[in-house]
Amino acid sequence: MEVKYYTPEGLENLKKELQTLKTTGRAEMSRQIAEAREKGDLSENAEYDAAKEAQGMLERKIAQLESELAVARILDESRLDLSKVAILSKVKLKNHALNKVQEYMLVTETEADLKLGKISINTPIAKGLLGKSVGEVVEVTVPSGRMKLEILEISR
């Protein structure tokens, strides 16, 4: 598995999610299985089968998060170059078609949240911006067509 980079906040969220699944999630699964078991013959008990299947999915999710944590690394923001757009850059853009200024932070895929202005570095917009400098105009192809974006500011 390849190394995955996180902000300190993103790595902490991953650890919290794993801890919640291991404690609260497992306890809830045990309760559901015990409840279903009390309903009689296990060979014909659909609730029991569903609870066991949910338990298996929970354990797979826990294993996945543990694997991600094993290869997780924190990005050192102090070593990032502010002259060009890179991961963790906050970029103020002017959308020429809409004549509107927008601001995005480029983050890892797992930390993306459009409501918070955080877009994945794997999106067409982010890919078009990576390595560019203030003043450059970038044309990006998105599902709705082409966008012309001017980089107004790069910050952290």
Report the Cα 94 to chain-centroid distance in Å: 25
pLDDT given at position 53: 92
DSSP state letters, 61-79? HHHHHHHHHHTEEE--GGG
> Taking the domains of the chain in order of start, what are their residue ranges?
4-74, 78-155
> According to the model, what pLDDT value does residue 40 have?
73
Q: Do the Cβ atoms of 132 and 138 come closer than 8 Å? A: yes
pLDDT of residue 125: 92
Return the CATH architecture of domain 78-155. Roll (3.10)
Enter the pTM of the model. Answer: 0.62
pLDDT along the chain (156 residues), means of 10: 77 93 95 85 78 93 92 74 84 92 89 91 91 92 89 90
Instruction: Take residue 109 and report the two structure tokens written for it.
Output: 């895929």
CB 105 within 8 A of CB 117: yes
Write out the two tokens for 24. Answer: 């609260």
Q: How many CA atoms lie within 13 A of 24 on its CB side?
A: 6
Check if CATH label 3.40.50.620 holds for domain 4-74.
no
Q: What is the model's pLDDT at position 74?
A: 83
